[in-house]
Amino acid sequence: DINLSDRVQRIKPSPTLAITSKAAELRAEGKDIIGLGAGEPDFDTPDHIKQAAIEAINAGKTKYTPVDGTPGLKKAIIAKFKNENGLDYEANQILVSSGGKQSFFNMALALLNDGDEAIIPAPYWVSYPDMVKVAGGVPVILETDVDSRFKITPEQLEAAITPKTRLFVINSPSNPSGMAYSEEELAALGAVLEKHPDIVVATDDMYEHILWTGKPFVNIVNACPALYDRTVVMNGVSKAYSMTGWRIGYAGGPQKLIAAMKKVQSQSTSNPASISQAAAEAALAGDQQCVKDMVKAFKERHDYVVDALNKLPGVTCAAGDGTFYAFPDFSGAIAAMDGVESCTDLAAQLLETAEVALVPGSAFGAPGCLRLSFATGMDTLKEAIRRIEQALSK
């Protein structure tokens, strides 16, 4: 028998990808499954972006690029950070990776020693704790609930900090909750972190553009500029430009840490795909109307879904600030159902009887909830809600 590493045995496969493939399996068996589990926009990648990739192929841009990204894409990223976020970076403070996921993975490996603690607010993107664990770190989870709109308080953060804390992760707007922290809330968290100079801050701004608070997007380093020297800003083109398959993410941050992340990448995957980089450059430097159109559709669906979920017995859904997820609390419904003890049971039951795939909140560290992705057409969403309602009334 083969002995696997302790490292790999510490982690589990991504639960969201697992639900998506389970739904695909059932569909292949002929079941009419509505998949609301996936974390990707349903729109096609905009044409001008595809065109840039086709041109890159035809121009022979099909070879290795610098490990940390092409000069053209890095220039577009630097301009994006400057113009949209008011953040100044030199080229050696930018790393382009094969997706936002790889950016975070590089960072975890570059930063954490065995036993180092990483503070992660729940509900969290499923991959943070496992990436921390692969790197030998220990995830320290901060719990929240629907009443706090799934946001942590400065007191919670302060209480979780120990001499071993090396990293604080913040994702706003959040996958899965859809909530964004206000500038004041971020400043209050930043004030706590200012007192602890050894903690690196990772702000995952992946859903920056999918936001409808009416206020400009702000991250923790905007709200607390004193953190600039120890904050890694992570972003990518996957969600904003409907480019999940192209695999381009990027990070801006302190030169020393970015160089270390680049070293990890140079010994694992090297540069991200050259063609995808050309497409990402067109996405960042091109017309941003495509983003606005998608966000408008997401907002309409959000309003419908939140309203419809709140009408279901035993379900509470707080209105989100952005993203394409709703994160309803089903604990009342779970308590009322025979043979359903947890959100995992409920998700299994809904897949079986209602043929709707949702991700249990426990996957995100928030049991009792389900994540519903509304990156799908309105008719499909209406049918999904109808089926869920029927299943709950049984």
Contact residues: ligand PLP, CB under 6 A: 39, 99-101, 125, 171, 175, 204, 206, 236, 238, 244, 249
Nearest approach in angstroms of CB 127 to ligand PLP is 7
Q: Measured at CB, which residue is nearest to ligand PLP?
A: 99
In the complex, least distance from residue 172 CB atom to ligand PLP, rounded to whole angstroms? 10
We find the least distance from the C-beta atom of residue 111 to ligand PLP, in angstroms, to be: 17
Nearest Cα residue to 205 out of 119, 77, 319: 77
| Closest distance to ligand PLP from the beta carbon of 11 (Å) | 16
Cα–Cα distance between 330 and 369 in angstroms, integer? 5
In whole angstroms, the minimum distance from the beta carbon of 244 to ligand PLP comes to 5
* Closer residue to ligand PLP in complex, CB, 123/392: 123
User: Which residue lies nearer to ligand PLP by CB, 245 or 377?
Assistant: 245
What span, in angstroms and rounded, lies between the C-alpha atoms of 356 and 386?
Answer: 10
| Residue 317 to residues 244, 331, 379, Cα–Cα distance (Å) | 27, 11, 20
Alpha helices in the chain (DSSP H): 6-9, 15-28, 47-58, 71-85, 100-111, 127-134, 154-160, 183-194, 220-223, 255-266, 274-285, 289-310, 331-336, 343-349, 378-392
In the complex, least distance from residue 103 CB atom to ligand PLP, rounded to whole angstroms: 8
Comparing CB distances to ligand PLP, the nearer of 101 and 301 is: 101
Q: For the CA atoms of the chain, what is the radius of gyration?
A: 21
Q: Which amino acid is at 95?
A: L
For ligand PLP, the closer of residues 65 and 106 by Cβ is 106
Query: Is 324 or 330 the residue whose CB approaches ligand PLP more closely?
Result: 324
- Strands 249-252 and 138-142 turn out to be unpaired
Nearer to ligand PLP, 130 or 204 (CB): 204
